[in-house]
Amino acid sequence: MNSLYQVDDLVKEYLLFRGFTATFRALETESRTDKDKGFQVDKILEELLFFVTSGDVNGLVEYYRYLDIRFFSRLDTRFQQTVKKFEHCLLRHYLVHAMQHKKRDKVKDFFEIYGSDLHGTSEWSPWFSLPYVKQPASDPIFETFFTKQWVDNYTTSLHNFLATIFQNMPLPSLLAFNVDRTQRKTQQTEIENLKSIVDNMKSSLEARENEIAKLKVELIDTRKEMTDGISLIRKRAASMTSPQQIKANGTKIDTKVSPTCTTTTLNPITATITNLSHDTSLDRNSNGDSVDALDEMNDLTGTDEPFVITSQEEFSEHASAITHAKFSTQGNLIASCDMDNIVRVWSYKGQSHSPQKLTNSTSNILSLEWDAKSDRFLFLGTDSGTIRVYNAENRAVVQEFSMTETYPWVTQLSSSPVEPVIVCSASGDKTKHHTKRHGALVAWSMKSMSSSGIFKLEPDDSCADINTIKHNHNGQMLVAGDGVGTMRIFDVRTMKSIVEWQTISKQPACIAQFSFDENSIYTVDFSGQLSQWSIHKPGTSLNDTNLKGFPPPPAWAPPASTRTSPHAMQPYPSISSPANSSLSGSALPPRPSSNRSTSSRASISSSRSARLSSAADDGVMQTILSSSPRSQMVAFSADTDYVLCATSLLTKSIPVVRSSSSSSSISSSTIPTSPSSSISLSSHSSSNPSRKIENNTSQDNGDNNNALGSMEETQGTIYQGRDGKPVLKFGQHHVYQKITTVDWTCASNACLLGSADGSVKVTNLIKTSY
């Protein structure tokens, strides 16, 4: 309807062109008295209200009946009642306006003219008394019509009614043609504007691509400078002691590396590379061990490292050995637990996060897991058959799930990344010989607060437990590995095994992880073998390699009678057995009083708490720490291209002093502290253990009471997932600081190493190759 006057002008032009002057004059005359007002709703309403304000009831009725015949009569019959209501409201508005302006005679004239037509209708009967009511605005019958709100609602409704009719009227061909022409012009204008926007976006894109290309060149140059600098430093360090010099100088080598802090400033990227190391003493019985060690260091130096260490900080949050430590899902917080079952939630980024402390005095914490969707919930599995849900925002335990008496030990936890579901691995009490140690998987719903499914391993002679569990990206599947080397994939919705196979080595899986593309599963078993298994062909190994240095030595060394190998102890020996009678009363190796790195910082808590007395059986935690490997010693990167493991460093040959009375002493060992002396730690069954200082330069006199023992330092090692080659070694720990747990946050390249002295070392990395 907007182009109506344009079409009128075109018609007039055409009539003059054809010489139809009489028709032209007639069109001009009718256009001046156009009752349709060019189909403009505002002008039609203005005409109706003019009749109301002027008191012309005849003109009002006549014009409304014209609209009825011209437009309203063409409507469907179901709208006729609506048209009639609009007419009655219009006449009432006329009467109300006349009463408001003290024109009672106009009201009387209205009823004299149209009273006969309105008489007898129930809706108009009260209105005949309107001229005789003194205060109609306060009368209950008429007061609504005297309000401004009613007038506004009526005019708005009539306006919308007329506009809807005009928008849905069928247009004549001439008007439709002009509308199409107008729309085409509008669309052409929009097209030109869009073309201009596209050109501007192309120019902006080209500028950004040029900027990205420039940044890529700068990044390549920066990586090359960083890699060349690191390689040069390592080559210089390696060249200081060559294999030929080792063979010429004999078997004893004493090498010391002082803590260094190297800062390299690059443009446009500034990186601070901090290499934390402590004094190490190498005492070899043969030339071959030292040569192999240097060869291994040279091999690592010659390769292009995919990671560069930017910072390494040590946090002292606990007073006893770390048993669990995990980054939160978003990577901002760390939850750590120690041997005293004290759980702390803290930030390693220097954020304004108040550290939290949760004490468990009645049970041991056997498993710890963050909610996979947020940093809000922390799940704690205990040896009393409970799973506690800790709310880090409210700083309180908000839920508890209870297992049956058959499965009191909750050893593994995995949170679904999509649904509010957690799956736990449970087993019997391993401190009791009569307990059948077959495991079970239980899925718990956070919504219903109940179990949503369970899977039980059949009890047999092996009494297998479930060592590791992990969800896939959508939480629909779960991979699990048991103690006899059987791998299973479960449907979490039904907790039924859908795929099952046996590992080649028949060794239990220490950890299992879905690959990034979820076409395969990575496993690391107890023998240190990294395997990649095809999901589509169950039991088919795509790749197998051994991780050199894994597993590391256990953090807690049980008596010699309970050992089966230097690394792999009996997973859970009985606490009450005679062989372990001295184990429950032993203590962790002493914590160093001054062994801080130059870049480490103090605890974020007020002070480091002393060890607390607990009602929980301390021997359970000692037994757990005496086993290696544990699932807490392995962590995969977010893209599963790399795997972080706690590994052995260099083996130190140290004298072991054995007492002539085997009934009063189990074993004693020395830890070197200087080239000329060492500290001897002895464990006795008596209540007065002694610490002796012995000279390390004394020669072996052939006495059967003296022998050579082996104690190993530990470190964090990152391996490539495809071939198992080490690409980065960091965070060396002394023999009394053995690594107990590792983790790798998916949110950023940050790794943590928890140790037996209660410290947590956080290392920030930059990935230099993709």
**Quick check: 511 and 454 in contact, CB under 8 A?**
no
Which residues pair with residue 381 across a beta bridge?
367, 387
Distance, C-alpha 658 to centroid of its chain: 52
Question: Three-class SS of residue 89?
Answer: helix
Q: What are phi and psi of 762, to 5 degrees?
A: -105, 125
pLDDT greater at residue 552 or residue 35:
552
- Domains of the chain in start order, with CATH, are 34-170 (no CATH), 365-546 (2.130.10.10)
pLDDT reported for residue 14? 84
Can you tell me the mean pLDDT for 49-64?
88
Longest dimension (CA), the chain: 142
pLDDT greater at residue 732 or residue 578:
732
Structure letter (DSSP) for residue 612: P
Question: Three-class SS of residue 572?
Answer: coil
CA distance 617 to 757: 20
* Whether residue 643 has pLDDT greater than 90: yes
Cα angle 425, 381, 343 (rounded to 5 degrees) comes to 145
Q: Which pair of tokens denotes residue 565?
A: 């190998």
Can you tell me the mean pLDDT for 102-107?
86
List Cβ neighbours of 727 (8 Å cut-off, separation of 6 or more).
Answer: 300, 303, 305, 306, 307, 642, 718, 719, 720
Report the candidate in 181, 24, 151, 162 with the shortest Cα–Cα distance to residue 82. 162
The count of C-alpha atoms lying within 13 angstroms of the C-alpha of 169, restricted to the half-sphere facing its C-beta, is: 19
CA distance 547 to 557: 23
CA distance 415 to 373: 8
Specify burial of residue 245 (Cβ count, 10 A radius: 0-12, 13-18, 19+): exposed
Q: Which pair of tokens denotes residue 469?
A: 């569990």
Task: Please tell me the least confidently modeled range out of 173-177, 182-186, 436-440, 683-687.
Answer: 683-687
**Quick check: 720 and 731 in contact, CB under 8 A?**
no
Q: Which pair of tokens denotes residue 449?
A: 């607060």
Bond from prior residue into 629 cis (ω within 30 degrees of 0): yes
Q: What is the DSSP string of 650-685?
A: EEEEEEEE--S-TTTEEEEEEEE-SSSEEEEEEEES
Q: Which range in 199-203, 393-397, 446-450 is most confidently predicted, on average pLDDT? A: 199-203
Confidence of residue 740 (pLDDT cuts 50, 70, 90): very high
- Residue 732 burial (CB count, 10 A): 20
Task: Using the structure block, give the residue that is written with the tokens 């292009």.
Answer: 304
CA distance 390 to 376: 8
pLDDT reported for residue 484? 84
